Structure 1
Amino acid sequence: MPSEQYRDKIIVGSEEWVQLPHLGMPAVKARVDSGAKTSALHAFNIQPFRRAEQPWVSFEVHPLQGNRTVAVRCEAQVIDRRVVRSSSGSSEQRYVIRSPMRLGDQVWEIELTLTNRDSMGYRMLLGREAMTGRVLVDPAEHMLLGRIRDTELHDMYGVVKSSPTGLKIALLASNPELYSNQRLIEAGEERGHEMSFLSIKDCYIKLDDENPEVHYRGGHILRELDAIIPRIRPSVTFYGCALTRQFESMGVYVQNTAAAISQSRDKLFSLQLLIKSGLDIPVTGFANSPMDTKELIEMVGGAPLIVKLLEGAQGRGVVLAETKKAAESVINAFKAVKANLLVQEFIKEAGGKDLRLFVIDGKVVASIQRAAAPGEFRANVHQGGTATVIKPTPEERRLAVKAAKAMGLAVAGVDIIRSKSGPLLLEVNSSPGLEGIERATEKDIAGMMIAAIEKQVKRTV
């Protein structure tokens, strides 16, 4: 028999539907997390203002996960601004509001912090402060208070299903769950296009000079596509580029060509192309024999220096060697396993920071500065670093545009480091991630990529 103190409490599972009636949301799926102190609500376009001399905030919410076409605009009084540490360990200062919440048949007021949760599995997090004294959690269960069908959600939010009337665009990639891939599918659908995801490993090709084809699992022949967005991970570059070339031979527009992707993925070749185009890079050395190690180190100005595996990506396979002895050890260890590597001068004045400039069709559309976590160095900005909006100089913009052009890329993430001699090119990425730059700049980069396809395909029709 449960004791009296538990009889009036609501029993919930690990996820439940809640209502936020004063914010205009009849249903939001919430992750119930007693390990989190505060509750959080997905919000974007957050704008502070004053009303009757009091701080207020306006914001928009996509209340349905995986659906960016439904947006609810809200206003609420700000009761606090506080620093909240996420589960990943990063800290963020957030606005805090109060709002009534209905859970089951009970309504009470809770505090909510506002943050962009586009990359999270739930639009709302229900923390323990909001549940104390009212709720018991059974983490092994979910939706104990009832389920809501998609048709009911569509009725609640006035969603009208319409048939796509635009282009047929396919995303050629490996993981449909990645933020960047989901955003591109959503952005295309928002603009009225028929979007599909093609898993690289499930495609195969027919080589025929008269009738080249790409087949998909189950024998389905891919026909009548207007455009392909290749998002090829490094481990499948060879096969992904073979598929991309096949679509090109079929007359399908591809946003980045196979040739451009291939040469951008070859770190040594890409640096040679950049130099050939008259663009500045850090002093870099390359050698095959361990006998050349000492000369290689001196070639780039000695230690400290950076050692990069040619096959590495996203900051992996990159080592900072702070002393000459450490550099010799790292280089010889890599060469012992027959790994190809580059040795590059270390730009101390950069302070563990670099710039990512996002280029679409010869124009810089967004830029951020990425800083490595404390105690890390610049290569690790890809892994746990922070991103902030920054305004690049005209010289940095020109450098990024020229670098993308040198690689032949219509869409590119260009990495630049600031040195005392001016900006230097580090790398040109043919499948730049969207999450960090979209969240930092609050720009619809995915929508810009789709708009660029629209212009190119209409030009060729």
Structure 2
Amino acid sequence: MRKEILRIGILGTSQSSHVQLLTTALQDLGAEVVLIPPTRLTAHIPGPPAVGAPPGNQAGLETLKALLVRSLPGGSLEQVIYRVDVLHRLENLGLTVINRPAVLEKTVDKFYTSAILADAGLPVPRTLVTEQFDQALAAVKEFGAVVVKPLFGSRGQGMVLVDDLDVAHRVFRALELGRYIYYLQQFLPHANEDYRLLVVGREVIGAMRRRGNNWKTNIACGAVPEYVNPDPALAKLALKTAAVLGADCLGVDILLSGDRPYILEANGIPGWSGLQSVAPVDIAGIIAHYTVAQCLRREKEGYSKSQRG
């Protein structure tokens, strides 16, 4: 009997180094990899979504066993919502999506992420989110210093430290003109370092300390990575963060201030180039093994249900 080929899709572009590494790792496990550009998703009703092809000439998304999401590019509100809706539909049709669209919705928006974690009792910095200029200014007076962050974004881009009311006035007026939301977190002293932990499944597969030249600890902003064995308390916090968000794969940024941990961010489409540069493990290989294992588990569950039926 001929063995069925395991077809796994990656939502992303061929230029991405993460996509390239995952493709090689999955192929090494015997999987057939289908690259799916996020902007070419096409939905037919009735019928499953395809990749920019007319009915009768579809790219076979319904034959995939899993879909790894590596890119959800920005765009108009319609474009962003539509792409996530397609992922929801694929999941509703029985496809294993990693991470699930519900997880991506929780982690793409810093406010929603922080609110979910805080409501679950996890430690996050004091935060104010508002559209009101006067309330934002009052937060600077109350907190003393705030980190102004874009609601959507990564790699430390667009973050500004504000600890002066005159500077706050200028920055907040500029944001007001652009119709931005004020997302302000209390600045926490942290010796210019924090930790990134990468969770896959129910395991922290790697962690690094990031040391910056200033308060920004993002590697894209010049911070230097150092591999560490995470403190058990930090590992437990990262795993609980992933469990609360329901994530299969999650990057968790944790800052220590006054010996207390605070979750800064949780990334549902985490990059790992910096971590891989210092880690002794093959991160893409671990994610590939996890994905294949999830496919086999789903197949086994389906077989067991058919036997019982």
Which category of TM-score, normalised to the shorter sequence, fits these structures?
Answer: 0.7 to 0.9
Contact 2:140 2:163 in 1 (8 A): no
Contact 1:169 1:195 in 2 (8 A): yes
Contact 2:211 2:223 in 1 (8 A): yes
Q: 2:269 pairs with 431, 435, 453, which one?
A: 431
Correspondence list, 1:28-67, <5 A = none
Q: 2:64 pairs with 195, 202, 225, which one?
A: 225
Matched, 1:313 2:162: no
- Cα deviation for residue 290 of structure 1 reads 1.1
Separation in 2, partners of 1:443, 1:371: 21
Separation in 2, partners of 1:352, 1:239: 39
Separation in 1, partners of 2:193, 2:10: 32
- Cα deviation for residue 456 of structure 1 reads 1.6
Partner in structure 1 of residue 113 of structure 2: 270
Determine which structure has the larger strand proportion and give its number: 1
Partner in structure 1 of residue 248 of structure 2: 410
The aligned amino acid for 1:278 is G
TM-score, reference length from structure 1: 0.60
Deviation readout 1:226-260 (Å, 9 max, x if unpaired): 00001123515434322211211221111111111
Unpaired runs of 5+ residues, structure 2, are 300-309
Matched, 1:171 2:10: yes
Matched, 1:247 2:90: yes
Matched, 1:328 2:169: yes
Name the SS of the counterpart of 2:116 in structure 1: helix
Q: How many residue pairs get matched?
A: 290
The aligned amino acid for 1:216 is V
Q: Are the structure 2 counterparts of residues 379 and 321 from structure 1 closer, same or farther at C-alpha, using a change threshold of 3 Å?
A: farther
Q: 1:302 pairs with 139, 144, 147, which one?
A: 144
Partner in structure 1 of residue 199 of structure 2: 359
Separation in 2, partners of 1:230, 1:457: 15
Higher relative contact order (CA 8 A, sep 6+): 2
Contact 2:251 2:267 in 1 (8 A): yes
- Cα deviation for residue 280 of structure 1 reads 0.1
Contact 1:302 1:324 in 2 (8 A): no
Correspondence list, 1:331-410, <5 A = 331-348=172-189, 350-372=190-212, 374=213, 376-378=214-216, 380-410=218-248
The aligned amino acid for 2:52 is R
- Cα deviation for residue 426 of structure 1 reads 0.5
**Which stretches of structure 1, 4 residues or more, deviate above 6 A after TM superposition?**
none
Separation in 1, partners of 2:111, 2:35: 32
Matched, 1:188 2:29: no
Contact 1:285 1:343 in 2 (8 A): yes
- Cα deviation for residue 398 of structure 1 reads 1.0
The aligned amino acid for 2:88 is R
Determine which structure has the larger helix proportion and give its number: 2
- Cα deviation for residue 381 of structure 1 reads 3.2
Name the SS of the counterpart of 1:271 in structure 2: helix
Separation in 2, partners of 1:296, 1:201: 39
Q: Are the structure 2 counterparts of residues 436 and 165 from structure 1 closer, same or farther at C-alpha, using a change threshold of 3 Å?
A: farther
Identity fraction in percent: 25
- Cα deviation for residue 425 of structure 1 reads 0.1
Contact 1:354 1:378 in 2 (8 A): no
Contact 1:169 1:196 in 2 (8 A): yes
TM-score, reference length from structure 2: 0.88
Partner in structure 1 of residue 290 of structure 2: 452
Separation in 2, partners of 1:331, 1:311: 17
The aligned amino acid for 2:166 is K
Separation in 1, partners of 2:229, 2:166: 39
The aligned amino acid for 2:257 is S
Separation in 1, partners of 2:198, 2:253: 9
Name the SS of the counterpart of 1:354 in structure 2: strand
Separation in 1, partners of 2:26, 2:36: 15
Separation in 2, partners of 1:403, 1:234: 24
Q: Are the structure 2 counterparts of residues 233 and 379 from structure 1 closer, same or farther at C-alpha, using a change threshold of 3 Å?
A: farther
Contact 2:136 2:182 in 1 (8 A): no
Deviation readout 1:351-390 (Å, 9 max, x if unpaired): 2222110001121110011222x3x432543333221101
Name the SS of the counterpart of 1:285 in structure 2: strand
